[in-house]
Amino acid sequence: MGEPGFGRLVVEDVKRGRHGQTLRRDLRDVYRFYLSEEERERLASMGKVKRFFRIGWWLVRNMLRRLSPNRRLILVTAALLFFIRPQIDSAEFHINLDFSRFAFPLVVLVLALELKDKLLARDEIEVARQVQMSLLPKSQPELPGWELASATIPANDVGGDLIDFLDGAGGSLGVALGDVAGKGMGAALLCAKLQATLRALAPGAASLEALGAALNGVLERSGLDNRYATLFYAEIDAGSGELRYLNAGHNPALHVSGDRIETLTASSLPLGMLPGTAYGRGVARVAPGDLVVLYSDGITEATDAAGNEFGLARLESSLRAAAGLSATELVKRVIEDVKGFLDHEKPHDDQSILVLRRTVA
């Protein structure tokens, strides 16, 4: 079956509804994207009338700066044709030079060129997304006496969160949840590098302290400005329930034991931030029935339309409300709670969660 006609497509768009909410969300995204934090702070200090005119001018100015020179000239020409309408008067004749009708085709031309670039980039990003999805675990590993479940939801087509499992010595299992600073293609590429480096170094590392130092050295030597990664990496001893972990600047994992929730805090700075950083090791004892929950800040920092964050308190409430559920059901519960909190608001960061439950002694 061929593509629907344009008229039918427009009718289907109208039937989808929620256009007001979508438009408000899009306007907020434009505001956040084109205006820097400093500009937004300056606008907040202005009066309503002055702010109204400044927002319009600053948005247009910043948008034009991001265009290529040729496209910027085309848009400026379209604006001149639309607003400047010279008149020639003499005793014999009156000429009104109105070229505004040519402004719209020029704007459409720039829109077509920008859309073409976006579609080409989307095709490339789709390939990158497929590659990234292929790097994620195809299934949760089986570990005697334990349940494991995880989920990751990129904010964009590709993301900068890492979830991985590594076989360790003596029947142990390594679990990792990392978060690369930023979003999009750059974060996804650095995430792939972090995963490859972790897989290469973890099996031969003398200790978690040595592993942290080695990972930091590799990422720091990459020389990428403002690019670093947080990582929570743990080795599970299936029989004893001992959890040895390295927390490189990541959100504290949550150790849930009954109604009590303890945090497994960071032992040092994120990876790749500073050369020569030393890393420590933490140890937790996981009793039968206990949970260990790893998560990225896209969960706790998920922000609704009013600017409220989901927060750690809501995450802990979700975990307490989900007591008794399997690891898989608990992951679904948390994802649904965050989605319900956002209420159709688009997440601004990748969301990842990994749950470990010890089931037997």
Spell out a b/e string for 231-257, using b for 16 or more CB atoms within 10 Å of the CB, else e.
bbbbbbeeeebebbbbbbbbbbbbbbe
Cα distance between residue 278 and residue 274, in whole Å: 10
pLDDT in tens, 115-135: 998 888 877 777 777 776 667
In which order are the strands placed within the sheet that holds 229-236? 161-167, 173-180, 229-236, 242-248, 282-285
Average pLDDT of the chain, as a whole number: 86
Looking at residue 124, its pLDDT comes to 74
Domain boundaries, the chain: 6-130, 139-358
Say which residue, 88 or 78, is predicted with more confidence: 78
Locus of tokens 């008067």? 89
Say which residue, 354 or 82, is predicted with more confidence: 354
pLDDT in tens, 248-268: 999 999 999 988 999 988 778
Q: In this structure, which topology does domain 139-358 adopt according to CATH? A: Phosphatase 2c; domain 1 (3.60.40)
Check pLDDT > 70 for residue 308. Answer: yes
Task: State the pLDDT confidence band at 3, using cuts at 50, 70 and 90.
Answer: low
Cβ-proximal residues to 172 (8 Å cutoff; 6+ apart), any chain: 235, 236, 237, 238
Portion of the chain with pLDDT greater than 90, in percent:
46
Check pLDDT > 90 for residue 96. Answer: no
pLDDT in tens, 7-53: 787 777 777 766 777 778 788 888 888 999 899 999 989 998 899 88
Residue 121 identity (one-letter amino acid): A
Cα distance between residue 290 and residue 20, in whole Å: 45
- The string of DSSP letters for 93-110 reads -EEE---GGGHHHHHHHH
Residue in 226, 132, 342, 337 with CA at minimum distance from that of residue 353:
337
Cα distance between residue 43 and residue 50, in whole Å: 9
Check pLDDT > 90 for residue 313. Answer: yes
**176: number of CA atoms within 13 Å, CB side?**
29
pLDDT in tens, 196-245: 999 999 998 899 999 999 999 998 887 666 778 999 999 998 888 899 99
